[in-house]
Amino acid sequence: MTTSDDAVAVLGVQAPPVVRRASRWRLALPVGLLAVPMLAFLTYFFFYPALGLLLSSIQTQDSRGIIGRPFTLAHYARLVNVELYARVLWTTLRISIVTSALATVLAYPVALVMVKSRPMITRIITLIVIAPLIVSVVVRGYGWQLVLQNGPKGMLNWILMTLHIVDAPISVLYTEAAVVIGSLHVFFPMMVLPLASALGKIDPNLEDAARMLGAPWWKVFLRVTLPLSMPGFVAGFTLVFSLTAGSFVIPAILGGASAVMLGNLIEQQIFVVYDWPFGAAIAVVLVGLVLAVNGVSMWLLEGRRLRRPE
Amino acid sequence: MDERFSGFGAYILYTVTAGMMLFILAPLLLVMAASVSDSYFVTFPPQGFTLKWYAKVLQDRDFLEAMRLSILLALGTTAGSLLLGVPAAFALVRGKFFGLAAIKGFLLSPLIFPALVTGLALLQVLTKLGSQDARLNLLIGHVVVTSPYVIRTVVTSLQLVDENLEDAARTLGANRLTTFWRVTLPQIASGVAAGGLFAFMVSFDNYPVTMWLANSEYSPVPLVLMRQLVNVFDPSVPAMSTIIILMAMVGVLLLEKLVGLRRALAA
């Protein structure tokens, strides 16, 4: 409390010592307690339900729909062994990895231009990149449905046919490619923002030095900019991967029957088949996947295993 | 334009950036164009101009009911997540107690957890509890997913508060409540507002939690829109979508005014 003592001295006000001691005591106790309502709420409505789901994933559901003993790992085995379900797992992994990789390649140029342009351009790019983030995923999925529509009335096909690039309409909608395109649109900001923030922290003198020493632009990028922006890349990749792996709306709208992801399989098991333990097991696998990727990313970021720009 | 980019590298950078801007805007602009097209099916290129689809949407009972529910739910969620999140942010920034980092991690963990699973797990517990009111269930679910956003923005702005000002106010005889209200709150107001706005927008658009907790009586906007997508093929769906896009634009501009977009979203 040195600062208030100074203030007391400067202002010549005598604060009653008894009151101050009481207030200091009160200050120490309640501040931490302010987190208690939030903690209690999340424990009861987030942590406890998550444990409950984990528990039902190793239990058995009887014919009346009651979940209980015996404990079993059969639901997990089913996900891996039944080809129909295993394929969903692989599709999810494939779509998530391809989307994150594409997002990385495309986000670097955007983030670079965003960071290094004049303020006005930076502002416009930021606004365009971020604006869709706040538009409902359903609306964005619908927009892509209109763009990719199969048949000559879709925007993409109309453009391709008008420019005589193709003679007959191509079918993109209801394929994995459509899901990748939609996911890329939805999660692209999650890659650009961390990248831009990492790129913004790089000392421009380092790049200038490399350039003055005669390095061509691509060498400057590969040897200076890229290594120094790794923390942003790791953070962005993790976000895009986790969010894509857990999506439901985009594969439901754009993937149809040919690109079913884990989220859609869970929904089907719960709402259509009413198989809670199996649905819970798929959910646990999804969470495990996401937590594993986040764990690796935290290990990379916090262990100073990446060179950070200071 | 900038001496840092030149030659072939610059060419690639600007082409990709321009291409991505087009990629981001194309589907949204197409939806908006389709919403005023004068045809009974959505086709490209859009034909004619009419506002009749908006007239149809604004008379659609289901859509209006959903709108009302979504706005009330988002308001309730904002209030709930601010009431729980702002004090928690205070505890995280000002408190010095054992396990602070772990508690912070726990409070922010709904952000990395797949929301779909959060909703499913909550549905199981609420069913067991016999909680049948979809509105209450949705409120609980939405507060779970939005409160981390509030905590994050408020923590960031609290870290910038000058504690000397609070000490000065206390020394001059202000009690703790007055000090908070007149000295601390004005300094974190933009952070609290950004957190609240975030909570509102996340709640309004939320699908993965909502889909588990809503029922046929109480369906928020994203669910109703999803249902319409499958069943309706006239441009009233783009009209609904455009209304949602315009609402989001207002939100984005407000956020940009309040704190600046990059700061509001910085992880």
- Whole-number Å distance between alpha carbons of A144 and A205: 42
Q: Nearest CA to B42 among A169, A112, A145? A: A145
Mean pLDDT of A249-270: 94
Mean pLDDT of chain B: 88
Q: Which pLDDT score is estimated for A236?
A: 94
Each residue's pLDDT tens digit, B117-151: 999 999 999 999 998 899 999 999 999 999 999 99
Question: How far apart are the C-alpha atoms of B66 and B72, rounded to whole Å?
Answer: 10
pLDDT at A9: 40
How many Å apart are CA B188 and CA B195, to the nearest integer? 11
Which has more pLDDT, A11 or B208?
B208
Q: pLDDT band at B56, cuts 50/70/90? A: confident
What is the per-residue pLDDT for B265? Answer: 61
Look at residue A137 and tell me whether its pLDDT is greater than 90. yes
Q: Answer for the pair A50, B117: CB distance below 8 angstroms, yes or no.
A: yes
Q: ipTM score here?
A: 0.89
- The residue-averaged pLDDT of B192-202 equals 90
Q: What domains are there in chain B, each with its CATH number?
A: 61-265 (1.10.3720.10)
> Pick from A135, A188, A290: which is nearest to B114 by CB?
A290
Which of A112-121, B42-51, B172-181 is least confident?
Answer: B42-51
Question: pLDDT for B62-78, tens place per residue?
Answer: 899 999 999 999 999 99
Quote the CA–CA distance of A259 and A283 in Å, as a whole number.
18
Q: Note the pLDDT of residue B266.
A: 54
B174 vs chain A: nearest CA distance in angstroms?
Answer: 12
Q: Kindly tell me if the per-residue pLDDT of B160 is higher than 90.
A: no
Identify the pLDDT of residue A21: 42
Contact B116 A221 (CB under 8 A): no
Q: A53: burial class by Cβ within 10 Å (0-12, 13-18, 19+)?
A: buried
Query: Which residues in chain A are contacts of B208 at CB distance < 8 A?
Result: 246, 248-249, 263
B44 contacts A154 by C-beta, under 8 angstroms: yes
Closest residue, chain A, to B252 (C-alpha): A131
| Facing residue for A106 by CB, picked from B20, B204, B267 | B20
Q: Which of residues 34-53 of B touch A (CB under 8 A)?
A: 34, 41-45
d(CA B31, CA B10): 32
Single-letter code of the amino acid located at B11: Y
Structure tokens at B144: 């779970």
DSSP assigned state of A71: P
Q: Are B191 and B157 in contact (CB under 8 A)?
A: yes
| Lowest-confidence region among A16-25, A172-181, A216-225, B89-98 | A16-25
Backbone angles phi, psi at A82, to 5 degrees: -75, 125
Give the DSSP letter of residue A164: T
Taking 90 as the threshold, does the pLDDT of residue B248 lie above it? no
What is the pLDDT averaged over residues A79-90? 94
DSSP SS3 for A67: strand
Q: What is the C-alpha separation between B145 and B129, in angstroms, rounded?
A: 20
Mean pLDDT score of chain A = 86
Task: Name the phi and psi angles at A60, rounded to 5.
Answer: -120, 145
Q: Is the pTM of this model over 0.80?
A: yes
Among B110, B109, B92, which residue's Cα sits nearest to residue B101? B92
Instruction: Tell me which of B39-53, B64-78, B95-109 is least confident.
Output: B39-53
Comparing A282 with A172, the larger pLDDT belongs to A282
Task: Give the mutation candidate from A104, A134, A206 for the B interface (greatest B CB count, under 10 A).
Answer: A134
Asked if B106 has any chain A CB less than 8 Å from its own CB, the reply is yes
The 8-class DSSP code of residue A68 comes to E
Average pLDDT over residues A208-237: 88
Question: Could you give phi then psi for residue A112, rounded to 5 degrees?
Answer: -60, -50
pLDDT (0 to 100) of residue B261: 64
Q: What percent of chain A has pLDDT over 90?
A: 53
The residue-averaged pLDDT of A247-264 equals 94
Q: Which residue has the tokens 């991967």?
A: A241
Picking from A132, A241, A245, A251, the residue whose alpha carbon sits closest to that of residue A182 is: A251
Residue B169 has pLDDT above 70, yes or no: yes
Question: Tell me, what's the pLDDT at A134?
Answer: 82
Contact B191, B259 (CB under 8 A): yes
| Residue B6 in this model has a pLDDT that exceeds 80 | no
Q: Residues of B with CB below 8 A from A270's CB? A: 120, 212
pLDDT band at A303 (very low <50, low <70, confident <90, very high): low
- Residue A194: C-alpha distances to residues A209, B143, B214, B266 (Å): 25, 25, 34, 7
Q: What share of chain A is helix, strand, coil (3-state, %, to 5)?
A: 75, 0, 25
B180 to chain A, closest Cα gap in Å: 13
Instruction: Report chain A residues whose CB lies below 8 A from the CB of B174.
Output: none
Structural domain spans, chain A: 15-56, 75-302
What is the structure's pLDDT at B142? 97
Fold of A75-302: MetI-like fold (1.10.3720)
Report cis status (omega within 30 of 0) of the bond before A194.
Answer: no
Mean pLDDT within B206-223:
94
- Chain A contact present for B144, CB below 8 A: yes
Pick from A23, A35, A188: which is nearest to B91 by CB?
A35
pLDDT band at A166 (very low <50, low <70, confident <90, very high): confident
Question: Is the per-residue pLDDT at A123 higher than 70?
Answer: yes
DSSP 8-state code for residue B114: -
pLDDT for res A16 = 45
The whole-angstrom separation of Cα B62 and Cα B101 is 46
pLDDT of residue A89: 96
Q: Is the pLDDT of residue A247 over 90?
A: yes
